[in-house]
Amino acid sequence: MTDSLHIVCPHCHTTNRVRTDQLGSQPDCGSCKKPLFAARSTALDEAAFDKHIGRSQIPVLVDFWAPWCGPCRQMAPAYEQAAAQLEPQVRLVKVDTEAAPGLGTRFNIRSIPTLALFKDGREIARQPGAMSAADIVRWARSKAD
């Protein structure tokens, strides 16, 4: 019997059951039929954030950022490059702290950009400051295992 994981769709936010041996085979959402992994980050509001953090059984790396933040904009391309390298083992999402200030408050975000890694519904690591793609990948892999 093959183990399966719950994976939340980045498009419609439906929870899907995916066999672990199929993660790398570009699985599609059972609801909207779009790819569950697109090798890029997903922007989340508060409701979608709770679904991804609470239901995904793969680690979720969150970039807390704001549109007015220079270092955030500078790190954005590196974060997208990291998404291409980390998926499907890690889901990368972005939370605009201006659009979703409740999440910034809830997680006590004091500086941006801040990366926070969640596993099994709880935060397991945090890293403030802009990073290169290689550093994001290295940091996430070291913390997710």
CA dihedral 81, 37, 124, 85 (to 10 degrees): -30
Active site residue 69: yes
Residue 7 · residue 49 · CB < 8 Å: no
DSSP result, 42-78: EE--HHHHHHHHHH-SS-EEEEEE-TT-HHHHHHHHH
Q: Alpha-carbon distance 66 to 82, whole Å?
A: 19
In whole angstroms, how large is the CA radius of gyration of the chain? 14
| 72 in active site | yes
3-state secondary structure of 35: strand
Selecting among 9, 29, 32, 69, the annotated active-site residue is 69
Active-site annotation, residues: 69, 72
